[in-house]
């Protein structure tokens, strides 16, 4: 993480890494609220399995419930 932060030129920003265990979308929302975050940035894993089809993706659940602006970042395609 530290190397990535330096590589993308964000070392001057205040960044706090938080690790949680639980239901992913609930823990993301809880972390945003607990930390008083101004924005949530999350990557897209792009996994599609039966659970996602039946219950929806984590990203979709976070988008619907996130109390702050959310930026979803996808990998660049060549």
Q: Domain map of the chain by residue range? A: 18-73
Segment holding 28, helix H or strand E:
helix 24-35
- Of the listed ranges 6-10, 15-19, 43-47, 49-53, the least confidently predicted one is 49-53
pTM confidence score: 0.67
Fold of 18-73: Rossmann fold (3.40.50)
Structure confidence by residue, pLDDT tens digits, 14-41: 777 778 898 888 999 999 999 999 988 8
In this predicted structure, what is the pLDDT of residue 9? 84
What is the rounded CA–CA span in Å between residue 63 and residue 70? 7
């Amino acid at each position: 993480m530290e190397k990535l932060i330096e590589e993308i030129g964000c070392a001057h920003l205040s960044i706090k890494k938080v690790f949680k265990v639980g239901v992913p979308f609930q823990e993301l929302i809880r972390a945003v609220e607990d930390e008083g975050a101004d924005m949530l940035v999350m990557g897209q894993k792009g996994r599609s399995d039966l659970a996602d089809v039946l219950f929806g993706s984590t990203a979709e659940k976070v988008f619907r419930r996130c109390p702050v602006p959310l930026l979803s970042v996808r990998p660049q395609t060549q």
